[in-house]
Structure 1
Amino acid sequence: MRVLNFYSSAFADQLRRGRKTATIRLGDKSHKYRKNDCVVVTIGYQHSPREKIFNAVIDQVEVKRVRDLSPREIEHDNPEFRRVDEMVHFLERIYDRAVTLDDTVTVVRFSQIIENPPELRDRLHGLGGANN
């Protein structure tokens, strides 16, 4: 199983609340993450303890230029942003280097795996008003 790690603990709350459902990574990461992969979403720094936030499934992996990022993709990565220039500035802080509109990024969309959610369990067992 792969790990989808975030370095900033500021993301922990966004992840737990379902507000962060994507990550935009600099470079082509399509070899690392693939649709339908199961990953462990963690927070922490390399060579340090990491906190498991949840298991997730990769829904979509798309490689594109920074200039081609949509406001929706940016918002799924960081609910505070909508514009490409905000994303560029954010990526520059994370990667500690200049980022241009021509740089390649990988948009990784993911969904939390919820263990035994009641509404799904009830549906599978014919409860909750379903007519079988």
Structure 2
Amino acid sequence: MQVLNFYSTIFADQLKRGRKTATIRLGDKSHKYKKNQAVLVTIGYQHSPREKIFDAVIDQVEVKRVRDLSPRDIEHDNPEFRRVEEMIHFLEQIYGKSVTMDDLVTVVRFSQIIDNPPTVTERLRGIGGAQN
């Protein structure tokens, strides 16, 4: 199984709460990640123990220039960011090199795979609050 790993433990809470539903990776990674592919989402550093967060399915893989990232792309990667400049600064920190508006990035959107999802009836009951 392919692994979608995050190095920063900052993302653990965002992933577990469903606030982080995408990752923006520097370069064209379309050869590595494919739509409908199952992945194991983990957090940890290379050559160290990693924490399994959840299994996921890749919903979309899109290669684009940094300048073409939408606020929504950025927010799904990091709920604290909205602007391309914030994303550039973040990518520079992660990859340890300069990132420009012309650089290619890959936006990988994913959804958690839930073992025992609630039924439609259970979900509908939850909409209006507790009902007896």
Which segments of 5 or more consecutive residues in structure 1 lack a partner in the other structure?
none
Identity %: 81
Moved over 4 A (4+): 120-123
TM-score by length of 1: 0.90
Alpha-carbon RMSD: 1.4
Question: 1:117 & 1:35 partners in 2: Cα distance?
Answer: 22
Query: What does 1:75-90 correspond to in 2, within 5 Å?
Result: 75-90=75-90
22-31 or 114-123, which deviates more: 114-123
Question: 1:120 & 1:41 partners in 2: Cα distance?
Answer: 26
Query: What does 1:67-78 correspond to in 2, within 5 Å?
Result: 67-78=67-78
The one-letter code of the counterpart of 2:65 is R
Match of 1:12 in 2: 12
Match of 1:108 in 2: 108
Match of 2:99 in 1: 99
SS at match of 1:52: strand
Which segments of 5 or more consecutive residues in structure 2 lack a partner in the other structure?
126-132
Q: Give how far 1:116 is off.
A: 1.1
TM-score by length of 2: 0.90
How many residue pairs are counted as aligned between the two chains? 124
The one-letter code of the counterpart of 2:62 is E
